[in-house]
Structure 1
């Protein structure tokens, strides 16, 4: 369905004409399902055939291709021998053979490609930083910041989704200050609606409130503390917890759930193709990560008018409306999180009121239509910028 494309030698970037699409070369550390992968696929779908897309997934995973437009399929290129600083000559040769008009690199895992592009041949280049793994949850690693500064010195734009990441990029001088771009994520308000006609997941309960987490099962998502806090907050209720996602911590989380005393009310739903099936009328969206920037799942829950209980990370507190009672708590405020969760489990009117405030906030600030238009301008500006 997504055939590998044989690379052919070509000349430097051609002058664009109005009769052919703009060619984007996307280099991802992985194209497994995740926030940035889904976002870029959704943007590409909405921009249509004005753009053509070629993908290199450095780990060979491409599951998020299920989100791309089948009428505008992406071309895959193999990543063999194209990772690591020692491979810079090979990466430079691959870029020289590329037919792309713009190079798009994503997160630190693709930074070797950013450096190779700086060394030449020089293509219009956009780099997207969307967040950190557990090794940088507390602060950016100095050696990585220095490498970013080196590799991104000639970037056309360094794009970040959150105010927090923008400040980090400025403070650590990841790119020249005039090249930093803050582009907030958006949510499809027509797709994610309070009354979306989607059958609920089998694990969802029709008559009792259900706490829902949507996240890869990785250490930095701290789903272990969600299980512990749910077990305390829900001990005297019939509430349920449904965890949607897959990842390396699944076995440990299942063992913890089984030992919690509420194991029969904690379900692991795996990877959910349509998150709306988990965000039913009785859902309370929970977010317990120690590192986030601008989580897509949070925006989706807000668009569906669901109440939230979250630990603040990245822009989470800034994204949520300023409600009373609060929906976001400091990382050390487990007591506040637990108390808020307990209130929401017992008060249907409060769930409805906070959910309505979240929907209104999503409509005001996070419409995907505006995000897609911003990406279109970003690509066009990269093409029009003179090469350094």
Structure 2
């Protein structure tokens, strides 16, 4: 296929936390154990664009099907991740009517929305949904809050005002955290009581990447470096483009879209590597791309437990990555030397070493695949969210 004007090779410290007990899901029906309709879960996202938190929700909702009903609020109006949801799900997408820079007014308005919707449980996601958490301080529904990371404004340090608001809004609600890094922040910086902290690692459908893991479609020519990311500032894909410019004899395929794409295309042209960089845009199905990557690269300034890294591991790939969030402990120990400082030259050095050694790539990819199969199957994640949504 042809993308971006060139041919792509066949390319289409531990804390005590509550143990979550798996719950047997009721048969696919419209009624729960109480005889009433299936539990209604209201999910509030800053955006329902395609991203890690949204994709995870879609996987969980699809898995449980009619065992739950859903309200999905996208505060910025973007509903792109709706494409990931099963057609037969009972889900609505109301407009919450948020106003920028009006926290108190929004919280009061959202309280009224919650009273009208009457959900069994309210699930808020990240700082961008904190006003809905505040709206439920006079409780309308059981509440839990999910944190997947931070925007670029909190990359280096937590904003004191936000810390205080989190402490107020979240001190009595379960707070779900996929990474140990976030657990430490919630405990030591936000000062949340240990009884509310829930560590629930991300998981994926490993079977989707089984064909990619066979490795039969890679290693046939110029090494291909791949990344799968929303093209937003905090992903710093520009760092990856500059790193690839410093490594001859390889190509870069960028799967994803976003506001940074024009600047990234211009950067590739300025660096004289436009013919080595392919922008393939947003792709709903990524396994075929992973199958044709020779190595995966992550260049973010901030992450916690990125699904793209788990997907790359499940595809049997070696990984060059910046040292953010839980990325280092997620990977096989053999891959640790290729987790680098947030620096162009360091990332380029890791990529250069992997590009130069096919045997090393195969060895690290096999180790990452073993670890993914051991640690990141989605079954445990499903059981944990079942318990959280049901309040058991």
Same structural fold, with TM-score higher than 0.5 when normalized by the shorter chain:
yes
Q: Which structure exhibits the higher relative contact order, with contacts defined as CA atoms closer than 8 Å and separated by 6 or more residues?
A: 2
- Alignment counterpart, residue 98 of structure 1, candidates 103, 114, 117: 117
Post-superposition offset of 1:191? 1.0
Distance 2:371 2:36 in 1: 40
Post-superposition offset of 1:74? 1.5
Please identify, of 312-321 and 41-50, the stretch whose mean Cα deviation from structure 2 is larger.
Answer: 41-50
- The question of 1:226 aligning with 2:268 is answered no
- Secondary structure of residue in 1 paired with 2:168: helix
- The question of 1:377 aligning with 2:391 is answered no
**In 2, are the aligned partners of 1:27 and 1:104 still within 8 Å (CA)?**
yes
Please identify, of 316-325 and 24-33, the stretch whose mean Cα deviation from structure 2 is larger.
Answer: 316-325
- Alignment counterpart, residue 282 of structure 2, candidates 265, 271, 279: 271
**In 1, are the aligned partners of 2:212 and 2:288 still within 8 Å (CA)?**
no
- The question of 1:289 aligning with 2:300 is answered yes
- The question of 1:122 aligning with 2:136 is answered no
- Secondary structure of residue in 1 paired with 2:284: coil
- Alignment counterpart, residue 42 of structure 1, candidates 59, 64, 67: 59
Measured at CA, do residues 95 and 198 of structure 1 come closer, stay the same or move farther in structure 2, by a change above 3 Å? farther
Deviations 1:212-259 (A, max 9, x none): 1111112211111111111111x2x1x210111112221211111012
**In 2, are the aligned partners of 1:82 and 1:91 still within 8 Å (CA)?**
no
- Secondary structure of residue in 2 paired with 1:61: coil
Distance 1:55 1:198 in 2: 38
Post-superposition offset of 1:326? 2.0
- Secondary structure of residue in 2 paired with 1:127: strand
Distance 1:253 1:67 in 2: 27
- The question of 1:368 aligning with 2:382 is answered no
Match of 2:172 in 1: 154
- Alignment counterpart, residue 229 of structure 2, candidates 203, 215, 233: 215
Measured at CA, do residues 105 and 324 of structure 1 come closer, stay the same or move farther in structure 2, by a change above 3 Å? closer
Deviations 1:51-97 (A, max 9, x none): 11111111111110111111214211112247742222221111111
Query: Runs of 5+ in structure 1 lacking a partner?
Result: 1-14
- Alignment counterpart, residue 187 of structure 1, candidates 204, 227, 231: 204
Query: Runs of 5+ in structure 2 lacking a partner?
Result: 1-31
Measured at CA, do residues 40 and 174 of structure 1 come closer, stay the same or move farther in structure 2, by a change above 3 Å? farther
**In 1, are the aligned partners of 2:179 and 2:326 still within 8 Å (CA)?**
yes
Distance 2:293 2:43 in 1: 39
Post-superposition offset of 1:27? 0.9
Matches within 5 A, 1:23-42: 23-42=40-59
- Secondary structure of residue in 2 paired with 1:326: helix
Match of 2:316 in 1: 305
Distance 2:40 2:33 in 1: 10
- The question of 1:356 aligning with 2:375 is answered no
**In 2, are the aligned partners of 1:199 and 1:277 still within 8 Å (CA)?**
no
Distance 2:109 2:350 in 1: 53
**In 1, are the aligned partners of 2:212 and 2:290 still within 8 Å (CA)?**
no
- The question of 1:61 aligning with 2:78 is answered yes
- Secondary structure of residue in 2 paired with 1:257: helix
Distance 1:63 1:49 in 2: 22
- Alignment counterpart, residue 256 of structure 1, candidates 262, 267, 274: 267
- The question of 1:110 aligning with 2:129 is answered yes
Deviations 1:286-328 (A, max 9, x none): 0011100000000001001011100110000010011067231
Q: Provide the alpha-carbon RMSD of the alignment.
A: 2.3
Measured at CA, do residues 282 and 36 of structure 1 come closer, stay the same or move farther in structure 2, by a change above 3 Å? closer
Distance 1:90 1:247 in 2: 30
Post-superposition offset of 1:283? 2.6
Count, aligned residues: 360
**In 2, are the aligned partners of 1:293 and 1:314 still within 8 Å (CA)?**
yes
Q: Name the TM-score, length of structure 1 as normaliser.
A: 0.87
Distance 2:300 2:84 in 1: 25
Measured at CA, do residues 283 and 128 of structure 1 come closer, stay the same or move farther in structure 2, by a change above 3 Å? same
- Secondary structure of residue in 2 paired with 1:309: strand
Post-superposition offset of 1:19? 5.4
Distance 1:260 1:107 in 2: 36
